[in-house]
Amino acid sequence: MNAQVTQLSPIRVAMMRHTGPYDGLGPVFDKLWSWVELSGAETMRTIGIYYDNPDFTPAAQLRSAACFEVRGGYQMENNHGMPVSIEEIPGGTYVTTRFVGPYEKLEPVWTELTNYIEGTLGRQISEVNPAFEIYVNDASETPPDELITELYMPVV
């Protein structure tokens, strides 16, 4: 596996939370994009946060969040009646890898990354900071086989 350990600074995001199966996060991104358009917020990267391990947490209880990175000084003036908050993804030590292909094929990549971290690297996955994905290109404009996703797993 081509993965590397990296130090990240906190990432400031506009966030809309979701509880339920992780594959239900797509419509939450659509709602968050509606807020972006209404608010005129300048966004940078698109990020999905995953708080729970689906191997141990029932699908109905999985916590995730749809996010758009915003500039450091951004202040939300109006949430337009939507459950949007401005928060930070914690900085710290993460192991990252890049995957090219459809989102539906990410689950085994996460498993491989976890095995690499715990086995090859001998590191422990953080129970405090969440794992997340950065979506490098736009799924509405990119064929599924060409989607680029960067995976970040927090380690201690």
pLDDT in tens, 25-49: 999 999 999 999 999 999 999 999 9
| Model pTM score | 0.95
Q: Which helix (H) or strand (E) holds 94?
A: strand 92-100
Please answer whether residues 41 and 86 qualify as being in contact, where contact means their C-beta atoms are separated by less than 8 angstroms.
no
Return the CA Rg of the chain: 15
CA distance 136 to 97: 12
Q: Output the pLDDT for position 73.
A: 87
Please answer whether residues 151 and 101 qualify as being in contact, where contact means their C-beta atoms are separated by less than 8 angstroms.
no
* CATH 3.40.50.720, domain 3-154, yes or no: no
Please answer whether residues 12 and 71 qualify as being in contact, where contact means their C-beta atoms are separated by less than 8 angstroms.
yes
Q: Output the pLDDT for position 1.
A: 86
Q: Output the pLDDT for position 121.
A: 97
Please answer whether residues 95 and 69 qualify as being in contact, where contact means their C-beta atoms are separated by less than 8 angstroms.
no
pLDDT in tens, the chain (156 residues): 899 999 999 999 999 999 999 999 999 999 999 999 999 999 999 999 999 999 899 999 999 999 999 998 899 999 999 999 999 999 999 999 999 999 999 999 999 999 999 999 999 999 999 999 999 999 999 999 999 999 999 999
